[in-house]
Amino acid sequence: MLPLYREVAAEMTRSGVGTEINTGLAYRYPVAEGCPSPLFLSVLAEQGVPITLSSDSHFPDDIGRLLDEALQAALEAGYQQLRFIVSESPILCRLAACPIIWYE
For residue 38, say if its preceding peptide bond is cis, omega within 30 degrees of 0.
no
**Lowest mean pLDDT across 17-26, 31-40, 76-85, 89-98:** 89-98
Q: Report DSSP state, residue 71.
A: H
In a 13 Å sphere around the CA of 73, the CA atoms on its Cβ side amount to 26
pLDDT digits (tens, 9 = 90+) for 54-64: 888 888 888 88
Query: Is the distance from CB of 35 to CB of 3 less than 8 angstroms?
Result: no
C-beta of residue 94 within 8 angstroms of C-beta of residue 51:
no
Q: What's the predicted TM-score (pTM) here?
A: 0.83
Domain range list for the chain: 2-94
Q: What's the CA gap between 97 and 53, in Å, rounded?
A: 16
